Amino acid sequence: MSASPTSEFFDLGGDLRVRRLGFGAMRITGEGIWGEPADRDEAIRVLRRAVEAGVTLIDTADSYGPFVSEDLIREALHPYADDLVIATKGGLTRHGPGIWAPVGRPEYLRQAVEMSLRRLGLERIDLYQLHRIDPQVPVEDQLGELAALQKEGKIRHLGLSEVSVAELRHARGLAEIVSVQNLYNLTNRQSEDVLEYATAEGIGFIPWFPLATGELAGPGSVLAEAAERHGASPARLALAWLLHRSPAVLPIPGTSRVAHLEDNLAAGDITLTDEEVAALTALA
């Protein structure tokens, strides 16, 4: 008996349809997510190939580079296809490779939105996500400013990143939230309760770092054996499991190489059996 994903698509906010298997544009920057990529031409090829292969959701952030990822997306893909959704984020600042600091002051968030619009060449951002809730600023002020920008027509839908169920519930009382982006993969299920809440509420769940397999991919492991049966890499099986995990899951695997992109996108062609899904789920 098979446990195929219920749908290839998900409607963010009920009106913004995306193909569930998207692309995360963090890894097209330099080491430490800082500066220009080692191979700019390959980064451009990756972005173009993703869209050619049917990806309709590209996730980025102003802090990737910083600014490099958004600039590359515009260079590679503008003018954008009608069905392409560019989701970006703001609220994290960069002071060096691997360094991230939240800033949620309303005036800063407004500036971040305006600059992302300019860099991406958009009049409205389809999905704008608060990259982190700044603990130094009332969340009412942070989401209040983004909701104001939404009313001004500069943002279509709002999302959050790295939040708890309690934070997500509170945020939904302040603004309409259509997506949440948390760390979640085959080896890390710390956001299981957030995934369950998002699924029940029809909120898109975007797992970042979706490809992690760790020791689960070792010789003779459940994952390695399943991958061998399907003639696929363990990473591809990990992505396929995410697609089967919930119809609300929107994985955004990222890479800086076309060959790796092709392997990731092939996860959408894998149908796992109920037994395989159960065995992989039990690995947690």
Please give the positions annotated as active site.
64
Rounded-to-integer distance, Cα 150 and Cα 125, Å:
9
Who contacts 13 (Cβ-Cβ below 8 Å, separation ≥6)?
156, 157, 176, 178
* Strand, coil or helix: 129: strand
Long-range contacts of 92-95, Cβ-Cβ distance < 8 Å, separation of 24 or more: 92/61, 92/63, 92/131, 92/132, 93/63, 93/66, 94/33, 94/34, 94/63, 94/65, 94/66
Q: Give CA–CA dist 186/272, Å, rounded.
A: 15
Q: Report d(CA 109, CA 93) in Å as an integer.
A: 11
Smallest CA-to-CA distance from 245 within 190, 207, 214 is with: 207
CB neighbour burial string for 195-234, b if at least 16 within 10 angstroms, e if fewer: bebbbeeebbbbbbbbbbbeebbeeeeebbebbeebebbb
